[in-house]
């Protein structure tokens, strides 16, 4: 991908790798992205992808995609397919291979047998509530399970019977035997296997015994030859358990886990559970709703892979918690499209303007720049006729002070064409404006008035005879407050869901050269950046406004 052809900036993770390479700890860099297929990827996932993929690329290493499909209750092939599609669209090619955690179930089981034989794992009959009671608190040590001292033979027998489905779900677990007095709660004999009867999307009904993530993940990393397991900061306290698993199974090549701060964005929720609720309750138009922080939602909205990774890069790679302004994401796509997007004329709230002194049936063509920031983009010819559409916001019957657009007896420049003067307003029976009648100074065909008078206002327009009908959708932020962590004690995300975040404009008018092609982004002159909705013909979504509110 073009974005990754640029020089990849260093960060604290790269400092660790540089030191390891210099000391001979590793001689290669192999990373992975391990999403659970229980939902669609979101903007937070993009940070994990960027860090793992760009790190491997910087050091000439490899990058794996591995589905963490160890929880059959929540996982589905729909999510498997969407994850791969999003990863490929972002340009993060998993050149090290595509793997599934469930394909390692046999090896995980074998290693559990080894831990039991080594006296480092035992079958426990405590219920979930009892385990919680025995676990202790942050200030008090836990208590040993009454089943902790079962013999190796009894544990092997019970674990085999657990695998064979002889016990009810949740009735037994296999726990690592570590230290119930450890100051790290994750090391207090954590469960590493549980009984779950559920159909697995890949393994079918082969297993009713499933490994937990903290046990399975380091095994998967080690088996794949991952050198650096780069993950978000909530796993930092899990690192000792990660290392315990790798050490006690006896892997010679040991992956190194290191953590970075998650990507938090204003006006956004990253909870897959809540995003799924929005979809299931039809509060949004699917996972790819353009208001959603999902990768497919951002894609439908018109964001590009380069703009998303540019945002992640500017947000920074660090360990400290921070929340990044959504306006930075908008700034990144705006900056890209300002340089690249073709300009088109569209009138979102059209009102007819009749030029009474222009001949009926006459058509002229005016050259208009395709992109003033790119001289090589050239120009296109836009037709001009007696009747044109202008935007209703560009006319004021009772104008405020210093109003330079069209007003009674006032003059404006029709962009790239003539100066016109408002002479008459025709109204409907309800008092609304039906049309505006003007005269054109026909000596001002894209020229200054010969008498030297100054006309300050310029407005855009589209010929009514050549106009194309389109619908336009304007999306606002999904939530009404910037930081959802500021919610009150008894409040939920629902309390701050923006119920007015979609505005559909019917009957808009656009120049005929506007195409219906997917993935083509345009600047609608004086309005914003738009893309055709990939799910609806003749419907265009606003990607972002022209105005940049990000404080640079």
Express each pLDDT in 18-72 by its tens digit. Answer: 999 999 999 999 999 999 999 999 999 999 999 999 999 999 999 999 999 999 9
Phi/psi at 131 (5° precision): -60, -40
* pLDDT at residue 15 in the model: 95
Q: Please check whether residue 512 is in contact with residue 365, taking contact to mean a CB–CB distance below 8 angstroms.
A: no
DSSP for 205-260, please give it.
TS-SEEE-HHHHHHHHHHHHT-SEEEEEGGGGGGHHHHHHHHHHHT-SS--EEEEE
Helices (H), 281-358: 295-301, 305-315, 326-340
pLDDT score at 2? 52
Contacts with 158 (C-beta within 8 Å, 6 or more apart), sequence order = 123, 150, 172
Write down the architecture of domain 343-552 according to CATH.
Beta Barrel (2.40)
CB distance 544 to 530 below 8 Å: no
3 state DSSP class of 387? strand
Active site residue 319: no
CB-neighbour burial class of residue 337 (10 A; exposed 0-12, middle 13-18, buried 19+): buried
The one catalytic residue in 120, 143, 163, 262 is 262
509, 347 contact by CB (below 8 A): yes
Q: In this structure, how many other beta carbons lie within 10 angstroms of the beta carbon of residue 344?
A: 25
pLDDT tens for residues 260-277? 999 999 999 999 999 999
Q: Are 419 and 412 in contact (CB under 8 A)?
A: yes
* Residue 503 appears among annotated catalytic residues: no
Catalytically annotated residue among 150, 175, 272, 300:
272
Name the nearest CA neighbour of 296 among 82, 34, 75: 82
Q: What is the CA radius of gyration of the chain?
A: 31
Whole-number Å distance between alpha carbons of 489 and 480: 17
Q: How far apart are CA 503 and CA 475, in angstroms?
A: 6
- What is the token pair recorded at 351? 């009102």
User: Residues of CATH 3.40.50.620 domain(s) within the chain?
Assistant: 2-265
* The model's pTM: 0.93
Q: What is the mean pLDDT of the segment spanning 174-202?
A: 97
Give the percent of the chain with pLDDT over 70.
98
**Is the confidence at residue 320, as pLDDT, over 90?**
no
Contact 89, 70 (CB under 8 A): no
Residue 20 CA to residue 349 CA, distance in Å, equals 61
Q: Is 272 an active-site residue?
A: yes
- Distance in angstroms (rounded) separating the CA atoms of residues 361 and 383: 12
- Return the SS3 of 309: helix
Would you state the pLDDT for residue 548? 78
Minimal CA–CA distance to 103: which of 8, 207, 208?
207
Q: What pLDDT was estimated at residue 1? A: 44
Predicted confidence band of residue 321 (pLDDT cuts 50, 70, 90): confident
Average pLDDT over residues 126-146: 96
Strand ordering across the sheet containing 468-475: 342-344, 521-524, 528-532, 539-545, 468-475, 502-510, 346-347
Please state, in angstroms and rounded to a whole number, the distance separating the CA atoms of residues 423 and 355.
10
Res. 82: pLDDT tops 50: yes
User: Contact, 175 vs 219, CB < 8 A?
Assistant: no
What pLDDT is attached to residue 6?
A: 62
Instruction: Judge whether residue 88 has pLDDT over 70.
Output: yes
What is the location of CATH 2.40.240.10 in the chain?
A: 343-552
Q: From residue 276, how far is each of 9, 279, 281, 282, 286 by CA, in Å? A: 35, 5, 8, 10, 9
Render pLDDT for 346-392 as a digit per residue (tens, 0 to 9): 999 999 999 999 999 999 999 999 999 998 999 999 999 999 999 99
Q: Under a CB-based contact definition with an 8 Å cutoff, are residues 230 and 49 in contact? A: no
pLDDT digits (tens, 9 = 90+) for 278-319: 999 999 999 999 999 999 999 999 999 999 999 999 999 998
CATH code for the structural domain at 2-265: 3.40.50.620
């Amino acid at each position: 991908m073009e974005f990754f052809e640029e020089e990849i900036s260093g960060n604290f993770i790269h400092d660790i790798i540089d030191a390891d390479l210099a000391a001979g700890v590793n001689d290669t860099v192999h990373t992975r992205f391990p999403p659970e297929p229980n939902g669609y990827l979101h903007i937070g996932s993009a940070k994990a992808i960027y860090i793992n993929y760009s790190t491997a690329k910087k050091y000439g290493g490899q990058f794996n995609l591995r589905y963490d499909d160890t929880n059959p209750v929540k996982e589905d092939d729909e999510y498997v397919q969407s994850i791969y599609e999003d990863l490929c669209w972002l340009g993060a090619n998993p050149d090290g291979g595509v793997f599934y955690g469930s394909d390692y179930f046999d090896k995980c089981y074998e290693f559990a047998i080894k831990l039991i034989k080594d006296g480092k794992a035992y079958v426990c009959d405590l219920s979930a509530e009892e385990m919680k009671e025995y676990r202790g608190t942050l200030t008090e040590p836990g208590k040993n399970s009454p089943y902790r001292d079962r013999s190796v033979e009894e544990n092997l027998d019970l674990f085999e019977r657990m695998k064979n489905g002889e016990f009810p779900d949740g009735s037994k677990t296999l726990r690592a035997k570590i230290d119930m007095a450890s100051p790290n709660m994750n090391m207090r004999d954590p469960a590493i296997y549980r009984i779950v009867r559920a159909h697995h999307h890949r393994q079918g009904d082969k297993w009713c015994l499933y490994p937990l993530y903290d046990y399975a993940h380091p095994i998967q990393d080690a088996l794949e030859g991952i050198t650096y397991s780069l993950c978000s900061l909530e796993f930092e306290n899990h690192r000792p358990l990660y290392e315990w698993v790798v050490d006690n199974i006896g892997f010679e090549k040991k992956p190194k886990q290191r953590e970075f701060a998650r990507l938090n964005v204003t006006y956004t929720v990253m909870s897959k559970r809540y995003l799924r609720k929005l979809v299931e309750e039809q509060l949004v138009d699917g996972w790819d709703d353009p208001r959603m922080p999902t990768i497919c939602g951002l894609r439908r909205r018109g964001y590009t892979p380069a703009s998303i990774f540019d945002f992640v890069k500017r947000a920074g790679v660090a360990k400290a918690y921070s929340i990044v302004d959504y306006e930075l994401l908008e700034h990144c796509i705006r900056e890209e499209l300002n340089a690249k997007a073709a300009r088109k004329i569209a009138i979102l709230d059209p009102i007819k303007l009749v030029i009474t002194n222009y001949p009926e049936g006459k058509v002229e063509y005016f050259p208009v720049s395709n992109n003033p920031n790119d001289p090589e983009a050239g120009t296109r010819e836009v037709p001009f006729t007696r009747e044109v559409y202008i935007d209703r916001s560009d006319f004021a019957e009772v104008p405020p002070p210093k109003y330079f657009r069209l007003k009674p007896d006032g003059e404006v420049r029709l962009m790239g064409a003539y100066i016109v003067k408002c002479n008459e307003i025709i109204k409907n029976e309800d008092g609304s404006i039906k049309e505006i009648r003007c005269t054109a100074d026909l000596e001002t065909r894209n020229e200054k008035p010969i008498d030297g008078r100054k006309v300050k206002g310029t407005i855009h327009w589209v010929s009514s005879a050549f106009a194309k009908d389109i619908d336009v959708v304007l999306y606002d932020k999904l939530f009404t407050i910037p930081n959802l962590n500021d919610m009150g004690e008894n409040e939920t995300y629902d309390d701050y869901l923006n119920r007015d975040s979609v505005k559909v404009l019917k009957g808009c008018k656009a120049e005929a050269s506007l195409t219906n092609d997917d993935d083509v982004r345009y600047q609608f002159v004086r309005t914003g950046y738009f893309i055709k909705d990939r799910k609806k013909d003749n419907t265009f979504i606003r990607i972002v406004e022209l105005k940049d509110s990000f404080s640079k």
